Structure 1
Amino acid sequence: MKATIERATLLKSLSHVQSVVERRNTIPILSNVLIEARDDGSIRLMATDLDLQVDESVPANVSTPGATTVSAHTLFDIVRKLPDGSQVELNAAEGKMQLTAGRARFNLSTLPRDDFPVIAEGDLPTRFELPAATLRQIIDKTRFAISTEETRYYLMGIFLHVADDQLKAAATDGHRLARVTVAKPDGADGMPDVIVPRKCVAELRKLLEELEGTVEVSLSPTKIRFGLGSAVLTSKLIDGTFPDYNRVIPTANDKLLKLDPKTFAQGVDRVSTIASEKTRAVKMNVDRDKVTLSVTSPEAGTATEELAADYGADGLEIGFNARYLLDILSEIDGDTVEVHLADAAAPTLLREKDNNSALYVLMPMRV
């Protein structure tokens, strides 16, 4: 195999694929990236952890087609440190790959291409397209609520399903819930309910960063594939049943509090400075047209802040985890957040004004 490629092109593509590779691997080939120089003047780069796979093709000057595999993180670090604008020559033969750029030369150990595992997709019967901007919004407004508890593996992803003629995405860790709805795309009829794993969500979000246009989504009950221009992301899905989250979305919270989300977030952030790391508890005293935020810490002291608000119901005292509250408020884009309250023990509903696409549920805590 022999090919020449521009450093910037190679670096960008390597940054996409190498992040899939785990730092510690018991199977040596999984530490490697597959590099395949093709007749059509492109280099294909591919990495996998057996559950997730990224495959990207980039333009190159190919002298001799062929393929090899080399340490993904080592190659990425080398290319990252090469001078801007340099041409990188890759030459693989007899168990080694020589990389040359200007006066720099590296001889890297390789493993055979035939040993490299590829995720077998099987049939992916459901196919539809989503605008990249819509997919970014779905991920950004839900992923903070994905659980990290290994014992509740079925919560360790974003739940995608079709209901009420809409495509819905939900994530919850038992303390908070985030749900986004978008119009059902053509082709999504009969789509199975699927849970997209946290790592797949993180890699997908990176690949979406600079992408315009649409993303092709293909899926079956066990696998999902995202076509993102020159890159393809394939992932196994979580084999489990997501709980019926609709049961925890309150429908009878009749006390409506309206605040400016930025002012609210800044106030919560300020008073929670002295909150204990363990509980992060902040108390909200809601009264006519004002909210008083307070934190009491046995070690650090007390903090209070008063915020102007639009509220006309009976007074209420309720406590929340400050970090959970800040995560939600950071995703509110408008100039008003609606907080639908019931009492100090009931789940609280938060949403943007005049925007029904995203809603959040937050469980209160005793303070």
Structure 2
Amino acid sequence: MSNIKEIEKSFIEQLDEWHRYFEPYDTELDIALHKSYYQVLKNGKKNIDWNSVRFSPSGATKDARELYSKLKKLNPDEVKLNPHQRRYMSQGTALGDWLQREILLCERHYEKFTGKKPRFTFARTKEGYPAFEDFVFSQKEVNFNGQSFNLIGTCDGIMIDNKTGEKVLLEVKSKQNTPSKTSLSAMKEPQESHVKQVACYGEMYGVDKALIVYINGAKVEWFADDEKIKRTPDIRVFGVDITDDLKEEVFEHFAIVTESFHKDKPLLPDLKEWLFNNYKQAISESLSDDDVKKLEESYGYLADLGMLKPYEERSVESALLDIKQRRASL
């Protein structure tokens, strides 16, 4: 059994060694991959209970009131994207697709180029598909604190550590603003929401180790010196041990939301998370005047005690103003 730090170090070493060579053409791989997607997608997602109380792993840290609103099938906000936002999201997805294909290329060509077998390759489903995305879309029921709910979704990959035979989850995230976003000085650890997301996948697939890989679409200049490349890598890898404590922390959050759903007693929204809440209008309409007063008093109390950071105070003030404006227009 390998230490998670050793696993993350070995994975980036494999990628870095592989990417010292030009990309090999592999038409057979692309044909097989597209055929596999065709076969799986045409059959649809069967054996999934879409009517169950369910959560997506990516929602592991979302505000309880937002998750409640989704369970209640309230109308999400209509969002008109700026063109760059659509491109930002699409290109982030494409970076994940790119890394999956690179690992598949490693399986077929790494030994030819390096003289060594790749340590990390994808596991396979019983049908022989690579274990990622639509090929491993699944549902897992969880019972916690007297509540029953389901985790539904899929991961970016389930790899095999060929040194130990252990399975290792792969979760890919993107950064695209500047090269410094993934620098050694700016990025010290994985984002909490991403850690809790892989905790859900750990439960769904029975895996207790994960690698969160951040890929930066913005690079240092082509002829950057070695020292700058070392300080500002475009790929960062963080290993996560998926412990019972970590999973239970997530399950407690989902259990609270599930209970509030069944009792029809929604919690007040977390105003610090309001900016990315997808149910602002529905929540604003459902809040009572007393609810708004409670929000003002509770966050005012926290601010007076100095328990809110300056940016959190600004977020809360902006959220309260937004809620009041939405309610005034009713």
Asked which structure has the greater RCO (Cα within 8 Å, sep 6+), the reply is 2
Scaled by the length of structure 1, the TM-score of the pair is: 0.20
Decide which structure has greater strand share.
1
Scaled by the length of structure 2, the TM-score of the pair is: 0.21
Query: Of the two, which has the highest radius of gyration?
Result: 1
